[in-house]
Every structure is written in C-alpha cells, then in structure tokens.
Chain A
Amino acid sequence: MIKRVITGNEAVAYAMKQIDPEVVAAYPITPQTQIIEKYAEYYAKGEVSGELIDVESEHSAMSAVVGAAGAGVRAMTATSSQGLALMLEIVYIAAAMRLPILMPVVNRALSGPINIHCDHSDTMMAANSGWLQFYSENNQDVYDNCFIALKVAERVNLPVMVCQDGFITSHSIEDISLYKDNVIKKFIGEYKPKYNLLKKEITMGPFDMFDYYFEHKRKQAQAMFDSVKVIESTFKEFSLISGRRYDFFEEYKLKDAEKVIVMIGSTYGSARDVVDSLRNNGELVGILGIRVFRPFNFKLLKKKLEKIRNIAVMERYDPLSGFGGILFNEIRSSLSRNDIVEYIYGLGGRDVDDSQILKVFKEMNNGKELIRYVGVRE
C-alpha cells in the first residue's frame, strides 16, 4: 500500500484511474467537482485508456453513460447537487435498465436558496431511484467504497452511487492508503456484461403496458433484495486486500450504550470524539453510522439497535414532509418503534460542532416533539 495525503475528490479520481473505465461522460463545469477535473488531467496526460466525453448537461452525461453501459463497457460519471437533480430522469432509467454504472456523488445542498455546501438533499432525492447507495465518513472510506461498490454493482446489475460530504471530505486533505494498480485490477476483475447491444441485435429499454410493467418492476426490486448477500461477501473479499472489514453500518461503543445517535457521512467522525468525552463522565452513549443506505439492511439494523433505550436520528437534509426524513422513517419502521426522535442538522453546509452532537445526546430522551432541529438560530 502507498501512503498519500490527498483530498476526497482526488481519492475518487484516483480510484477511477485505477478502475480505468472505457467511458467517462461528464458535464465539465459547476456543479461538477474536482473529481472530473483531476480525471481530465489523467486523461490529458494519457494515464487512462478510456474515453472522456464532455457533454452539455448532466442529463446528457447520464444518457451517454447509459448508452455506453448498454454497449457492454464500464461507464462512469460524477456529479453533485443540481447536477443530480438535472439527470434524475435518466438516473431512474439506468436502474430500471439494470446497468451497473458507478457514479461518485459529492453531497451538496439542493437549491433553493442557491447554495453550494454540504448536505444530503441531493442523494436523498435519489434514495428511491433503484440505485445502490454507499456513504463515506472520510477519504479512505470514499476511496475504498468505489471498488466495493463497483464490484457489487457488476454482480447484481444495478447502478451505484458512492457519496461523500461536499467540502468536508471532498476538499479536505487526509492521509490515506492507496492500493497498487495490480491489486485493484485483480479485485475488480474483468467486466462481463450480462447484455451487450453490440454483440447481438437486442432491444433495451422497451415500452411496457399494464400487462408487463409490474412484473419488470418486481424483478428490478428483487435485485435490490438480493444485493444484501452480495454486499456481505464483497465486504469480506475486500478485507483480504485492505485489512479493513467494513459492514452495512459502522458502530462505535454500541454494545452497552443506552443512548445512540444514527447518522450518515462525515459527522460520524466528530461524533466519536463526543462519545469518548461523554463516556469519560460515565454516560453510556454510542453511535451508528450508515455506510450502505440502499439496499437498507433492516434485519441487521434491528439486531444492532433493538436493545438501545434511546435513539435519535440525525439527518442532514430537510424532507419538508411534515414529518421526518427517509433515514428516520427507515429506522423507526425497522425497529417498529415510535419513540425515536429526529434531529435535522447541518443544512447548506452549516458547521456541525461538538456542542450540537452533545445537545442531541443530552436532550434526545426529553420532550415530546418527534421532529427537532439542531444548529439553527431559534
């Protein structure tokens, strides 16, 4: 392994270079991230063998990638916030067409108001699009997730988003261990597409009436159910090259905890420090971070949390639903509990300091309100 000090964006671009997909199609300007800027640099220097296609919008980026994946090659794009919103129509289609596209997404707030900073409103908008979703706490995580996610995607024929927190990890420098090219090549293996438009005259993406739409959707849904087992075994295989044993959920001091916060993304790192300081005062607190959000492994989640007395979900987007967000609802329904509280936090890149996490630990078992806010000026 090679030690490097790089940003989350560079870590993803490096992973893409090592995967070396035949086609990358991307919109080259904002809201695009430095992932593609860095990848374009590799391309210009001839360090990657695939094609890089600049397109006129994210809608076209996803369309081009769907076309390439249909033609039986590894195809990728990357995006963020409004870019994901613009391509959403084709995002759903890519999943329904069962194309194993890898798309790194840098989580940034959706407009409006216009904002460029971190929250999870973009990928939560696509949480039910039929894509697998992997989230990352730090730069090592996002780098590793790219390889695991690609391998899973190609095994179950579903596309996958690898998400990281905008600016917090995407622009922050951290030391990470990179794998040698040959180790990655061996891990991801050669891509053998199940269907290939160029090999045989087939039709992809045809029209369905009421007599078949439901059956095709049912089949697509099964791929998501079946992916749980595949992800388990892929985590195991990845641990052999990395020494890191990942799981659907990351836990910290959960075993004897009485109060637990569930969260997604980089906040998990700061929350660990808060857990340590509270435990020094004898408080039994712990945290659970979500690495794989789609598929949602509700059985494992239940096992992890069923004995916990007080649970709060911290959600970094506002569902504007008159109730809680998607994560909140998944946790409540997995546990069949209605005493879990939701804290919406960190919108539009609002700084999340220890005091906010402390406040959640202190107050989660007080009061009747189910949906709460932390870090907003009251």
Chain B
Amino acid sequence: MQNLKKWKELEDAGNILDKGNNEENDVSGWRSFRPIHIREKCIDCMICWSVCPDNAVISGDGKFIKFDYTKCKGCLICLNECPVNAIRSEKEK
C-alpha cells in the first residue's frame, strides 16, 4: 500500500476532480466474464466503442481494433448492444 495517499492529502468527501481517471486503474480483476470479439461478424459500427463506460474498446481508422483487457471490467454492455452479435463472452477462470 506504499503509493496510497495519506488522509491529509485527500480531497474532501473523496471528490474526484479529474475526468477519466479510471484509466490509471487495472480493473481486470473485477471481471467475471470477458468479452471476445468475433472479427468475421463485425461490421465496425462502433456502437461498442461508444457504449463502453471505461474506454476499453480500442479503435483505429474507424474500425474495431481490440479490447483493452486492463480497462475492461466485464460489464458486457458491449455484448448487449452489438447489433450483429459480434461479441461473445467467456467465463474468467
């Protein structure tokens, strides 16, 4: 626990002043299910990219590239929203 802040260094009430700071955290351990992309079915509509609450879908050139599994917490919103079932899930071991 060396990098954790002391109480006097904290914001009141635990308020978080910067945006998107969950990028610093590895949340892979939260996952019960892992989303898996099926390239053959994907139409690159990027709906998964826009609905993912943790920016865990990496895109490039307007196309789906990959999941960032350190940021993905396994909520499977992407799987639910994909219009062509191009995302399936696997139970984490």
Residues of A at the B interface (CB closer than 8 Å) are: 96-98, 157, 194-195, 200-206, 208, 211-212, 214-216, 218-220, 222-223
The interface on chain B, measured as residues whose beta carbon lies within 8 A of the other chain's beta carbons, has a size of 15
Determine whether the beta carbon of B19 is less than 8 Å from that of A98: no
Determine whether the beta carbon of B7 is less than 8 Å from that of A194: no
Flag B1-29 by CB within 8 Å of A: 1 or 0 each.
10011111011111111010000000000
Report the bound CA distance from A200 to B11 in whole Å.
Answer: 15
Contacts of A214 in B (CB 8 A): 7
Report the minimum CB–CB distance from B58 to chain A (whole Å): 23
Residues of B at the A interface (CB closer than 8 Å) are: 1, 4-8, 10-17, 19
Complex partner residue of A211 from B1, B16, B19, CB under 8 angstroms: B1
Interface core residue of B4, B12, B13 (most chain A CB under 10 Å): B13
Determine whether the beta carbon of B15 is less than 8 Å from that of A218: no
Contacts of A202 in B (CB 8 A): 15-17
Report the bound CA distance from A212 to B7 in whole Å.
Answer: 8
Complex partner residue of A98 from B5, B8, B13, CB under 8 angstroms: B13
Complex partner residue of A219 from B1, B4, B7, B17, CB under 8 angstroms: B7
Report the minimum CB–CB distance from A98 to chain B (whole Å): 4
Contacts of A98 in B (CB 8 A): 12-13
Contacts of B14 in A (CB 8 A): 205-206, 208, 212, 216
Beta-carbon nearest neighbor of A195 in chain B: B15
Contacts A157-B12, A195-B15 aside, 5 further interface pairs with beta carbons under 8 A come to: A96-B13, A204-B15, A206-B14, A216-B10, A219-B7
Report the minimum CB–CB distance from A159 to chain B (whole Å): 12
Complex partner residue of B7 from A157, A200, A206, A215, CB under 8 angstroms: A215
Determine whether the beta carbon of A215 is less than 8 Å from that of B13: no
Contacts of B16 in A (CB 8 A): 202-203, 206
Report the bound CA distance from A208 to B5 in whole Å.
Answer: 13
Determine whether the beta carbon of B4 is less than 8 Å from that of A211: yes
Contacts of B8 in A (CB 8 A): 219
Determine whether the beta carbon of A195 is less than 8 Å from that of B12: yes
The 3 closest A-B pairs by CB, nearest first: A215-B7, A203-B16, A218-B7
